Amino acid sequence: MSTPTVRRRRLGTKLRTLRETLGLTLEDVAEKSAGKITMAKLSRLETARSAAKSGDVEMLLRLYGVDDAELQAALLTLANDGARRGWWHSYRGVLSPVYEDLISLEADAASVRAWHMGTIPGLLQTSEYAREIIASTATSADVKERVDALVEVRLARQAVLTSRDRPLGLHVIIAEGALHTRCEDDAVMHDQLGRLLTLSRRANITIQVMPASSSPHVGQMGSFSILGFNDQADLDVVHVESLTSALYVEDREQVGVYQDAFERLHAAALTPEASVERIAEVRNRG
Protein backbone atom coordinates (compact mmCIF):
# COMPACT_ATOMS: atom_id res chain seq x y z
CA MET A 1 0.00 0.00 0.00
CA SER A 2 1.40 3.40 -0.96
CA THR A 3 2.03 6.09 1.62
CA PRO A 4 -0.86 8.58 1.79
CA THR A 5 0.02 11.91 0.24
CA VAL A 6 -0.96 15.29 1.64
CA ARG A 7 -3.57 15.54 -1.12
CA ARG A 8 -5.23 12.28 -0.14
CA ARG A 9 -5.21 13.20 3.54
CA ARG A 10 -6.80 16.60 2.88
CA LEU A 11 -9.49 15.05 0.69
CA GLY A 12 -10.22 12.31 3.21
CA THR A 13 -10.44 14.76 6.09
CA LYS A 14 -12.88 16.99 4.20
CA LEU A 15 -15.08 14.07 3.16
CA ARG A 16 -15.24 12.88 6.76
CA THR A 17 -16.10 16.40 7.98
CA LEU A 18 -18.92 16.70 5.44
CA ARG A 19 -20.36 13.36 6.53
CA GLU A 20 -20.10 14.04 10.25
CA THR A 21 -21.63 17.51 9.85
CA LEU A 22 -24.76 15.81 8.51
CA GLY A 23 -24.72 13.31 11.37
CA LEU A 24 -24.30 10.38 9.00
CA THR A 25 -22.52 7.15 9.90
CA LEU A 26 -20.48 5.04 7.50
CA GLU A 27 -23.41 2.63 7.41
CA ASP A 28 -25.83 5.45 6.54
CA VAL A 29 -23.71 6.47 3.54
CA ALA A 30 -23.35 2.90 2.33
CA GLU A 31 -27.12 2.51 2.46
CA LYS A 32 -27.79 5.83 0.69
CA SER A 33 -25.37 4.86 -2.09
CA ALA A 34 -27.20 1.55 -2.60
CA GLY A 35 -24.01 -0.30 -1.82
CA LYS A 36 -21.93 1.48 -4.48
CA ILE A 37 -19.74 2.87 -1.71
CA THR A 38 -19.31 0.36 1.06
CA MET A 39 -18.49 1.16 4.68
CA ALA A 40 -15.01 -0.27 4.22
CA LYS A 41 -14.39 1.74 1.06
CA LEU A 42 -15.56 4.99 2.62
CA SER A 43 -13.42 4.36 5.67
CA ARG A 44 -10.36 3.84 3.45
CA LEU A 45 -11.10 7.07 1.55
CA GLU A 46 -11.56 9.11 4.71
CA THR A 47 -8.37 7.79 6.28
CA ALA A 48 -6.40 8.17 3.01
CA ARG A 49 -5.59 4.48 2.88
CA SER A 50 -6.99 4.39 -0.66
CA ALA A 51 -6.84 6.93 -3.46
CA ALA A 52 -10.25 8.36 -4.30
CA LYS A 53 -11.72 8.17 -7.80
CA SER A 54 -13.52 11.23 -9.12
CA GLY A 55 -16.71 9.22 -9.63
CA ASP A 56 -16.80 8.23 -5.96
CA VAL A 57 -16.19 11.82 -4.85
CA GLU A 58 -18.96 13.10 -7.14
CA MET A 59 -21.37 10.55 -5.68
CA LEU A 60 -20.48 11.47 -2.11
CA LEU A 61 -20.91 15.17 -2.83
CA ARG A 62 -24.40 14.47 -4.21
CA LEU A 63 -25.28 12.35 -1.19
CA TYR A 64 -24.05 15.11 1.12
CA GLY A 65 -26.00 17.77 -0.79
CA VAL A 66 -22.89 19.83 -1.58
CA ASP A 67 -23.84 22.48 -4.14
CA ASP A 68 -20.89 24.84 -3.58
CA ALA A 69 -19.25 24.86 -7.03
CA GLU A 70 -15.85 25.95 -5.71
CA LEU A 71 -15.80 23.22 -3.06
CA GLN A 72 -16.85 20.64 -5.63
CA ALA A 73 -14.06 21.75 -7.96
CA ALA A 74 -11.45 21.77 -5.19
CA LEU A 75 -12.30 18.25 -4.00
CA LEU A 76 -12.48 16.83 -7.51
CA THR A 77 -9.10 18.37 -8.24
CA LEU A 78 -7.67 16.60 -5.21
CA ALA A 79 -9.16 13.33 -6.44
CA ASN A 80 -8.27 13.68 -10.12
CA ASP A 81 -4.71 14.82 -9.58
CA GLY A 82 -4.02 11.95 -7.21
CA ALA A 83 -3.53 9.74 -10.25
CA ARG A 84 -2.07 12.42 -12.53
CA ARG A 85 1.49 12.06 -13.67
CA GLY A 86 2.91 15.57 -13.49
CA TRP A 87 6.18 16.72 -15.05
CA TRP A 88 7.92 16.05 -11.74
CA HIS A 89 7.43 12.30 -12.09
CA SER A 90 10.35 12.25 -14.54
CA TYR A 91 12.54 13.29 -11.60
CA ARG A 92 11.56 10.40 -9.33
CA GLY A 93 14.74 9.13 -7.74
CA VAL A 94 15.89 12.73 -7.47
CA LEU A 95 12.99 14.06 -5.39
CA SER A 96 11.86 12.93 -1.97
CA PRO A 97 8.16 12.06 -1.53
CA VAL A 98 7.74 15.18 0.61
CA TYR A 99 9.18 17.38 -2.15
CA GLU A 100 6.92 15.71 -4.73
CA ASP A 101 3.98 16.53 -2.49
CA LEU A 102 5.03 20.19 -2.38
CA ILE A 103 5.35 20.45 -6.16
CA SER A 104 2.00 18.81 -6.80
CA LEU A 105 0.30 21.00 -4.20
CA GLU A 106 1.81 24.14 -5.77
CA ALA A 107 0.45 22.99 -9.12
CA ASP A 108 -3.07 22.80 -7.66
CA ALA A 109 -3.01 25.72 -5.22
CA ALA A 110 -4.70 29.03 -5.88
CA SER A 111 -2.30 30.90 -3.61
CA VAL A 112 0.91 30.61 -1.64
CA ARG A 113 1.76 32.90 1.26
CA ALA A 114 5.34 32.45 2.40
CA TRP A 115 7.71 33.84 5.01
CA HIS A 116 11.43 33.32 4.36
CA MET A 117 14.10 34.15 6.90
CA GLY A 118 17.38 33.31 5.20
CA THR A 119 16.88 32.82 1.47
CA ILE A 120 14.91 34.08 -1.50
CA PRO A 121 11.88 31.76 -2.00
CA GLY A 122 12.43 28.97 -4.53
CA LEU A 123 9.58 30.18 -6.75
CA LEU A 124 11.46 33.46 -7.27
CA GLN A 125 15.03 32.20 -7.65
CA THR A 126 17.32 32.55 -10.65
CA SER A 127 19.15 29.43 -11.80
CA GLU A 128 22.55 30.56 -10.52
CA TYR A 129 21.20 31.64 -7.14
CA ALA A 130 19.33 28.33 -6.85
CA ARG A 131 22.54 26.46 -7.62
CA GLU A 132 24.43 28.35 -4.89
CA ILE A 133 21.72 27.72 -2.30
CA ILE A 134 21.19 24.04 -3.12
CA ALA A 135 24.93 23.31 -3.15
CA SER A 136 25.68 25.25 0.02
CA THR A 137 22.84 23.70 2.02
CA ALA A 138 23.45 20.12 0.86
CA THR A 139 23.88 17.84 3.85
CA SER A 140 24.90 14.68 1.98
CA ALA A 141 27.03 13.59 -0.96
CA ASP A 142 23.85 12.26 -2.56
CA VAL A 143 22.33 15.76 -2.76
CA LYS A 144 25.59 17.25 -4.04
CA GLU A 145 25.48 14.78 -6.93
CA ARG A 146 21.94 15.91 -7.84
CA VAL A 147 22.44 19.68 -7.81
CA ASP A 148 21.91 20.11 -11.56
CA ALA A 149 18.67 18.11 -11.50
CA LEU A 150 17.41 19.92 -8.40
CA VAL A 151 18.08 23.29 -10.05
CA GLU A 152 16.04 22.14 -13.07
CA VAL A 153 13.19 21.15 -10.77
CA ARG A 154 13.27 24.45 -8.91
CA LEU A 155 13.03 26.42 -12.14
CA ALA A 156 10.30 24.17 -13.53
CA ARG A 157 8.21 24.79 -10.40
CA GLN A 158 8.09 28.48 -11.32
CA ALA A 159 5.80 27.80 -14.29
CA VAL A 160 2.83 28.07 -11.90
CA LEU A 161 3.48 31.83 -11.69
CA THR A 162 2.99 32.41 -15.41
CA SER A 163 0.26 29.90 -16.21
CA ARG A 164 -2.00 31.40 -18.85
CA ASP A 165 -5.14 29.79 -17.40
CA ARG A 166 -4.66 30.32 -13.67
CA PRO A 167 -1.40 31.86 -12.46
CA LEU A 168 -0.62 31.16 -8.82
CA GLY A 169 -1.18 34.07 -6.47
CA LEU A 170 2.10 34.46 -4.58
CA HIS A 171 2.65 36.70 -1.56
CA VAL A 172 6.10 36.42 -0.01
CA ILE A 173 7.70 38.24 2.90
CA ILE A 174 11.49 38.08 2.92
CA ALA A 175 13.76 38.98 5.81
CA GLU A 176 16.06 41.80 4.68
CA GLY A 177 19.14 39.80 5.62
CA ALA A 178 18.41 37.43 2.73
CA LEU A 179 18.90 40.32 0.31
CA HIS A 180 22.48 40.77 1.53
CA THR A 181 23.64 37.19 0.89
CA ARG A 182 27.21 37.17 -0.44
CA CYS A 183 27.71 34.69 -3.26
CA GLU A 184 31.12 33.77 -4.67
CA ASP A 185 30.25 35.77 -7.77
CA ASP A 186 28.67 39.15 -6.95
CA ALA A 187 26.72 39.01 -10.21
CA VAL A 188 24.63 36.13 -8.85
CA MET A 189 23.01 38.23 -6.15
CA HIS A 190 22.79 41.28 -8.41
CA ASP A 191 20.82 39.25 -10.96
CA GLN A 192 18.68 37.67 -8.24
CA LEU A 193 17.63 41.03 -6.84
CA GLY A 194 16.90 42.19 -10.36
CA ARG A 195 14.60 39.22 -10.83
CA LEU A 196 12.71 40.17 -7.66
CA LEU A 197 12.19 43.66 -9.05
CA THR A 198 10.95 42.27 -12.35
CA LEU A 199 8.58 39.76 -10.78
CA SER A 200 7.21 42.33 -8.34
CA ARG A 201 5.56 44.01 -11.31
CA ARG A 202 3.36 40.98 -11.99
CA ALA A 203 -0.22 41.38 -10.79
CA ASN A 204 -0.24 37.93 -9.16
CA ILE A 205 2.97 38.44 -7.15
CA THR A 206 3.38 40.52 -3.98
CA ILE A 207 6.82 40.88 -2.40
CA GLN A 208 7.45 42.45 0.99
CA VAL A 209 10.67 42.90 2.93
CA MET A 210 10.93 42.62 6.69
CA PRO A 211 13.48 45.31 7.59
CA ALA A 212 16.52 44.37 9.63
CA SER A 213 15.54 47.09 12.10
CA SER A 214 12.18 45.49 12.89
CA SER A 215 11.14 44.63 16.43
CA PRO A 216 11.10 40.97 17.54
CA HIS A 217 8.36 39.13 15.63
CA VAL A 218 6.74 35.71 15.24
CA GLY A 219 8.66 35.01 12.02
CA GLN A 220 11.88 34.60 13.99
CA MET A 221 10.64 31.14 14.94
CA GLY A 222 11.22 29.88 11.39
CA SER A 223 10.22 30.01 7.71
CA PHE A 224 6.95 28.55 6.41
CA SER A 225 4.59 28.53 3.44
CA ILE A 226 0.79 28.37 3.44
CA LEU A 227 -0.73 26.75 0.36
CA GLY A 228 -4.30 27.91 -0.22
CA PHE A 229 -7.03 26.36 -2.36
CA ASN A 230 -9.53 28.95 -3.61
CA ASP A 231 -11.85 30.05 -0.81
CA GLN A 232 -11.80 26.64 0.87
CA ALA A 233 -9.71 27.62 3.88
CA ASP A 234 -10.16 24.25 5.53
CA LEU A 235 -8.15 22.67 2.71
CA ASP A 236 -5.15 24.94 3.29
CA VAL A 237 -1.92 23.25 4.32
CA VAL A 238 1.34 24.62 5.75
CA HIS A 239 4.78 23.51 4.57
CA VAL A 240 7.63 23.86 7.05
CA GLU A 241 11.16 22.97 5.95
CA SER A 242 14.25 22.34 8.05
CA LEU A 243 17.84 21.41 7.20
CA THR A 244 17.23 17.67 7.11
CA SER A 245 13.48 17.28 6.65
CA ALA A 246 10.16 18.95 5.93
CA LEU A 247 6.69 18.53 7.32
CA TYR A 248 3.12 19.49 6.53
CA VAL A 249 0.81 21.04 9.07
CA GLU A 250 -2.75 19.97 8.27
CA ASP A 251 -4.65 20.34 11.55
CA ARG A 252 -7.15 23.18 11.16
CA GLU A 253 -6.28 24.94 14.41
CA GLN A 254 -2.55 24.73 13.77
CA VAL A 255 -2.96 25.98 10.20
CA GLY A 256 -4.89 28.89 11.70
CA VAL A 257 -1.91 29.74 13.90
CA TYR A 258 0.30 30.07 10.82
CA GLN A 259 -2.34 32.10 8.98
CA ASP A 260 -2.47 34.52 11.90
CA ALA A 261 1.33 34.64 12.03
CA PHE A 262 1.50 35.55 8.35
CA GLU A 263 -0.98 38.39 8.82
CA ARG A 264 1.13 39.73 11.68
CA LEU A 265 4.25 39.57 9.51
CA HIS A 266 2.38 41.26 6.65
CA ALA A 267 1.47 44.15 8.96
CA ALA A 268 5.02 44.48 10.32
CA ALA A 269 6.89 44.33 6.99
CA LEU A 270 7.51 47.18 4.59
CA THR A 271 4.71 47.87 2.14
CA PRO A 272 5.15 46.30 -1.32
CA GLU A 273 6.09 49.73 -2.71
CA ALA A 274 8.65 50.42 0.02
CA SER A 275 9.95 46.86 -0.34
CA VAL A 276 10.69 47.37 -4.03
CA GLU A 277 12.61 50.50 -3.13
CA ARG A 278 14.60 48.63 -0.48
CA ILE A 279 15.46 45.81 -2.89
CA ALA A 280 16.59 48.35 -5.49
CA GLU A 281 18.74 50.15 -2.90
CA VAL A 282 20.49 46.95 -1.86
CA ARG A 283 21.04 45.99 -5.50
CA ASN A 284 22.47 49.38 -6.41
CA ARG A 285 24.85 49.33 -3.45
CA GLY A 286 25.87 45.85 -4.62
* Domain ranges, ordered by start, for the chain: 6-80, 96-285
Tell me, letter by letter, the H, E, C secondary structure of the chain.
CCCCCHHHHHHHHHHHHHHHHCCCCHHHHHHHCCCCCCHHHHHHHHCCCCCCCHHHHHHHHHHCCCCCHHHHHHHHHHHHCCCCCCHHHHHECCECHHHHHHHHHHHHCCEEEEEECCCCCHHHCCHHHHHHHHHHHCCCHHHHHCHHHHHHHHHHHHHHHCCCCCCCEEEEEEEHHHHHCCCCCHHHHHHHHHHHHHHCCCCCEEEEEECCCCCCCHHHHCCEEEEECCCCHHHCEEEEECCCCEEEECCHHHHHHHHHHHHHHHHHCCCHHHHHHHHHHHHHHC
Average pLDDT, rounded, for the chain: 90
Mean pLDDT of 3-9: 72
Q: Which CATH class is domain 96-285?
A: alpha beta
pLDDT band at 96 (very low <50, low <70, confident <90, very high): confident
pLDDT band at 1 (very low <50, low <70, confident <90, very high): very low
- Taking the whole predicted model, whether its pTM rises above 0.85 is answered as no
Whether residue 26 contacts residue 39, with contact meaning beta carbons closer than 8 Å, is answered with yes
pLDDT band at 4 (very low <50, low <70, confident <90, very high): low
pLDDT at 113 over 50: yes
Q: Provide CATH code, domain 6-80.
A: 1.10.260.40
Mean pLDDT of 49-66: 91
Return the pLDDT at 66.
93
Return the pLDDT at 179.
97
pLDDT at 169 over 90: yes
Mean pLDDT of 5-30: 90
pLDDT digits (tens, 9 = 90+) for 206-263: 999 999 999 999 999 999 999 998 766 678 999 998 877 788 998 889 999 999 999 9
What does each C-alpha distance from 34 to 24, 27, 31, 39, 63 come to in angstroms?
15, 11, 5, 11, 11
